[in-house]
Amino acid sequence: MKIEQYISQLLYRYQCVTVPGFGAFLTEIQSAKLDENTNSFYPPKKLVSFNPYIKNNDGLLANHLSKEEKINYEVAISVIQTEVENWRKSIHEFGQLTFKNIGGFSLNSENNLVFVPAEQVNYLKESFGLSTFVSPTVKREEYKEIVEELEEKAPIVFTPEKRRNYSFLKYAAIVLLSVGVSGAIGYKVYQNYEQEIAQQTLLVEQNVQKKVNQKIQEATFFIESPLPSVTLTIPSEKMPYHVVAGAFSIESNADNLVERLLKLGYNAKRIAPNKFGLNPVLYGSYSSYSEAYKAMKEIQQADNPKAWLLIEEF
């Protein structure tokens, strides 16, 4: 059974997809970028890398395989182990291994795995429909030179002005000048009258404003029924990464383990039964993968070597 397609499906949804006994595929978001040398525009994308040191089973791939193939969880674990053995055999025999839409593996001179991600698939869902494109260079300077050349070659033609006899206009100008002088004198009288009215209005407004300010200073304000206080609810932080202590078909066994872990100082709890009817018990939940992974390693050394990671939002 080829499990590369299921790894590819999970890379769209999760930051880390671990293949037990082989390694983990990690994703990191890269912003959109522009290559000025080639005028190429690249959309945002998820860069895929590989870490051969993360090999512990976090249950993500096995649960997904069990759901898609409709097989038991233990059978899914066995399928993954068999596939990993085939991968290792192919790498040692042929020196390379390729996963469709994910990338390829090869061995370097020190016999270490080297991973090269595939470029044709973008695992960032928000960039769906966006592709790389090349924009032609805008040649503004060349257009400017063409316009300047045309301006130099364009002929300039002067048209002589034809004069007419406008002697009758001087008499009309004398009449307009007389009307203008009389109008200016009348406007000056009206303007003086308007200024006097504006001054009187300003005095009245200042007197009224003074009395209003005096009343405000003498007044006393109080609130008989204050408004109730407002309570703001801050949404809780998501913690999708969990360290699992075990899963039990009998609820009392799960409750006994939770009680023991609480006495040891862990934030233990029992969550709802999974689709297999088992009652998982958690050491604790964390907001980031690195924090959960660190806690799991400490728990494996201090209390339970079989503790594993579960990535799921409740």
Q: pLDDT 10s digit of each residue in the chain, 314 long?
A: 689 999 999 999 999 999 999 999 999 887 776 766 766 666 788 889 999 999 899 899 999 999 999 999 999 999 999 999 999 999 988 888 999 989 999 988 888 889 999 888 888 866 655 666 576 766 665 556 665 666 565 555 555 555 555 555 555 555 455 545 455 555 554 456 566 666 666 676 677 677 656 665 655 444 455 555 555 554 557 888 999 988 888 989 989 999 999 998 999 999 988 888 889 999 999 988 889 889 999 999 999 998 888 888 77
Which amino acid is present at 176? L
Q: CA 224 to CA 222: how far, in whole Å?
A: 6
- 3 state SS of 48: strand
152-161, pLDDT tens digit by residue?
655 555 555 5
Q: Which of 242, 239, 258, 259 is nearest to 295 (CA)?
A: 242
Question: Could you tell me what percentage of the chain is helix, strand and coil, using 3-state DSSP and rounding each to the nearest 5?
Answer: 45, 20, 35
Q: CA 108 to CA 64: how far, in whole Å?
A: 32
Kindly list the distances between the CA atom of residue 14 and the CA atoms of 24, 91, 160, 181, 311, in Å, as whole numbers in the listed order.
Answer: 12, 27, 82, 88, 9
- 3 state SS of 267: coil
Helices (H) and strands (E) in the chain, counts: 7, 13
pTM over 0.85: no
Q: CA 66 to CA 252: how far, in whole Å?
A: 27
Token pair 């090999």 is at which residue?
55
Q: CA 175 to CA 179: how far, in whole Å?
A: 6
Tell me the HSE value of 276 on the side-chain side, using a 13 A CA sphere.
Answer: 15
Q: CA 242 to CA 239: how far, in whole Å?
A: 8
Q: To which H or E segment does residue 138 belong? A: none
87-123, pLDDT tens digit by residue?
999 998 888 899 998 999 998 888 888 999 988 888 8
- Please give the angle made by the CA atoms of 222, 227 and 229, to the nearest 5 degrees: 130
Token pair 């009758």 is at which residue?
168
Beta bridge partners of 103: 99, 117
- For the chain, domains (ranges, CATH) are 4-134 (no CATH), 241-311 (3.30.70.1070)
Q: To which H or E segment does residue 175 belong? A: helix 168-218
Question: Does residue 275 contact residue 203 with C-beta atoms inside 8 Å?
Answer: no
